[in-house]
């Protein structure tokens, strides 16, 4: 078994595969190690099994959609960005298509297309693949890395790239080992927390499962601080579940819920079902649309999904009334529910069941241009192991592929230094 390489990459997710590809493209003899039998196990799950591989928005927008330290990525994206990802796959005969909000998927609608394309490239570049191989520790002296220890023996290289991902969905192999490796080389790891996570609510409407399974389109969900001021808000789709909220709007709000929960035991969320309209406009619209003779529960067809309309009308006590029986005050309370409904969160799902890990390897200790460790020569980082987290929508895979590209290239340069 070959044991000496120029670059060793730990972790065969998107960051690791791209690191290995680009290290090899730059002439290095590369080993890629993953504990699973197959590469890209988590990548296969993304985008509902279709792999939301990147996002077609301008770089500034990408950075805005990476609320966890997106600005660290300016240098990375100046070297390899979303357009470069699209070109990478196009030039390998993998066509991508754009869906809503700039999200890009393979035209096959199968994650396997992306994983196979990356693996094919690894094989073409003669990267040595160590599958079903777990790295147990980093080998290093006081100044530089020397290689890695696996259950089946030691491997040596002048450069080692850690791309072990975060700590979510641990069954995919991402169990946080890279944080331990980083710490063993003197790095700090900032506290880990769940992001892109479904939100648990305490409201009776959830406990009673009144709205379970209801999906709302393009509604605005806001996270409020103790003073009632919005700390973030997102206009996207939302799903009511048996525990609370899921869907893109909830996922995006989740890390802010967790931030607020550090200071308070319950966090208020505000749901606006008509973000395009003011309360005055909505009141006028209701007045115009209402079918006067019917009970209100039947008098506003297609105004809101039926279950939600019924819940709001019942909460105000006007479901059985006809329009002439409704007071101005009741109407305003109803409009307030439509535009300004408050729900209450006590937690989000834990790390294991969240999509993305917040926190990670301290960025001050990593050179943003090369992704090299400032603590140990020859050590590099890429992907979710870093203290970077994006929204769902392709931003995390973009981060993984782009940082992987930069780390792999610089790991090769270092090996030949």
Ligand X SMILES: Cc1cc2nc3c(=O)[nH]c(=O)nc-3n(C[C@H](O)[C@H](O)[C@H](O)COP(=O)(O)OP(=O)(O)OC[C@H]3O[C@@H](n4cnc5c(N)ncnc54)[C@H](O)[C@@H]3O)c2cc1C
CA distances from 130 to 37, 150, 220 (A): 9, 10, 46
Of 303 and 355, which has the nearer Cβ to ligand X? 355
134, 212, 298, 377: residue in contact with ligand X (rule CB under 6 A): 134
Tokens linked to 68? 């966890």
Q: Are 162 and 178 in contact (CB under 8 A)?
A: yes
**393 pairs with which residues across the strands?**
none
Tokens linked to 293? 């003779």
Binding segment toward ligand X, per CB under 6 A, in 5-13, 93-101, 152-160, 222-230: 5-13
Binding segment toward ligand X, per CB under 6 A, in 7-15, 217-225, 241-249, 282-290: 7-15
Q: How far is the CB of 169 from ligand X (least distance, A)?
A: 4
Of 132 and 209, which has the nearer Cβ to ligand X? 132
Tell me the number of residues near ligand X by CB under 6 A: 38
For the chain, helix (H) and strand (E) counts, in that order, are: 14, 19
5, 6, 9, 11: residue in contact with ligand X (rule CB under 6 A): 11
Q: How far is the CB of 18 from ligand X (least distance, A)?
A: 8
Sheet with strand 379-381: strands edge to edge: 128-130, 30-33, 7-10, 159-162, 379-381
Sheet with strand 103-106: strands edge to edge: 54-55, 103-106, 96-98
Decide if residue 36 touches ligand X (CB under 6 A): yes
Considering only residues 45-104, where is the footprint of ligand X by CB under 6 A?
45-47, 52
Of 62 and 372, which has the nearer Cβ to ligand X? 62
Q: How far is the CB of 331 from ligand X (least distance, A)?
A: 41
Of 33 and 267, which has the nearer Cβ to ligand X? 33
Task: Look at the chain and count its residues.
Answer: 417
Binding segment toward ligand X, per CB under 6 A, in 9-17, 107-115, 282-290, 328-336: 9-17
In a 3-state reduction of DSSP, which class is residue 27?
Answer: coil
Of 134 and 232, which has the nearer Cβ to ligand X? 134
CA distance 229 to 241: 26
Binding segment toward ligand X, per CB under 6 A, in 68-76, 168-176, 283-291, 370-378: 168-176
CA distance 6 to 324: 81
Query: Backbone dihedral region of 134: left (phi > 0), alpha (psi from -120 to 50 degrees) or beta?
Result: beta
Binding segment toward ligand X, per CB under 6 A, in 73-81, 159-167, 269-277, 309-317: 159-167
144 secondary structure, DSSP code: B
179, 256, 274, 355: residue in contact with ligand X (rule CB under 6 A): 355
Considering only residues 368-407, where is the footprint of ligand X by CB under 6 A?
383-384, 392, 394-397, 400
CA distance 76 to 365: 16
Decide if residue 121 touches ligand X (CB under 6 A): no
Dmax over Cα atoms in the chain, in whole Å?
85
163 secondary structure, DSSP code: -
Tokens linked to 310? 């019924």
Give the helix/strand (H/E) hosting 406.
Answer: helix 395-415
Of 41 and 187, which has the nearer Cβ to ligand X? 41
5, 7, 12, 271: residue in contact with ligand X (rule CB under 6 A): 12
Q: Torsions phi, psi of 256, nearest 5?
A: -75, -35
163, 220, 241, 268: residue in contact with ligand X (rule CB under 6 A): 163
| Interacting residues with ligand X (CB under 6 A) | 10-16, 33-36, 41-43, 45-47, 52, 134-135, 163-165, 168-169, 173-174, 177, 355-356, 383-384, 392, 394-397, 400
């Amino acid at each position: 078994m070959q044991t000496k390489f120029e670059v060793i990459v730990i972790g065969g997710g998107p960051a690791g595969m791209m690191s290995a590809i680009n290290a090899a493209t730059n002439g290095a003899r590369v080993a890629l190690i993953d504990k699973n039998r197959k590469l890209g196990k988590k990548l296969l799950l993304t985008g509902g099994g279709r792999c939301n591989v990147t996002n077609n928005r301008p770089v500034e927008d990408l950075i805005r959609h990476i609320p966890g330290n997106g600005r660290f990525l300016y240098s990375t994206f100046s070297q390899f960005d979303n357009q470069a990802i699209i070109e990478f796959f196009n030039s390998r005969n993998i066509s991508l298509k754009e869906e809503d909000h700039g999200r890009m998927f393979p035209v096959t609608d199968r994650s396997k297309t992306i994983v196979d394309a990356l693996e094919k490239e690894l094989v073409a570049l003669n990267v040595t693949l160590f599958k079903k191989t777990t790295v147990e520790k980093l080998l290093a002296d006081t100044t530089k890395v020397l290689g890695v220890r696996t259950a089946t023996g030691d491997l040596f290289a002048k450069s080692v790239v850690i791309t072990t991902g975060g700590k979510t969905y641990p069954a995919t192999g991402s169990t946080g080992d890279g944080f331990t490796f980083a710490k063993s080389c003197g790095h700090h790891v900032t506290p880990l927390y769940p992001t892109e996570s479904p939100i648990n609510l305490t409201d009776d409407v959830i406990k009673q499962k009144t709205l379970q399974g209801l999906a709302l389109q393009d509604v605005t969900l806001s996270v409020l601080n103790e003073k009632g001021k919005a700390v973030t808000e997102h206009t996207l789709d939302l799903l009511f579940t048996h525990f609370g909220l899921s869907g893109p709007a909830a996922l995006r709000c989740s890390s802010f819920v967790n931030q607020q929960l550090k200071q308070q035991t319950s966090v208020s969320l505000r749901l606006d079902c008509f973000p395009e309209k003011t309360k005055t406009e909505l009141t006028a619209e209701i007045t115009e649309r209402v079918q006067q003779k019917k009970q209100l529960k039947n008098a506003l067809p297609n105004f809101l999904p039926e279950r939600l309309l019924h819940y709001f009308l019942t909460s105000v006590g006007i479901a059985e009334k006809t329009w002439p029986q409704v007071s101005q005050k009741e109407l305003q309370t109803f409009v307030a529910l439509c535009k300004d409904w408050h729900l209450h969160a006590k937690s989000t799902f834990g790390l294991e069941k969240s999509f993305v890990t917040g926190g990670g390897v301290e960025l001050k200790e990593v050179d943003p241009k090369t992704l090299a460790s400032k603590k140990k020569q020859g050590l590099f980082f890429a992907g979710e192991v870093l203290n970077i987290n994006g929204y769902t929508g392709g931003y995390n895979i973009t981060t993984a592929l782009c940082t992987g590209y930069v780390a792999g290239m610089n790991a090769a340069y270092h090996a030949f230094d």
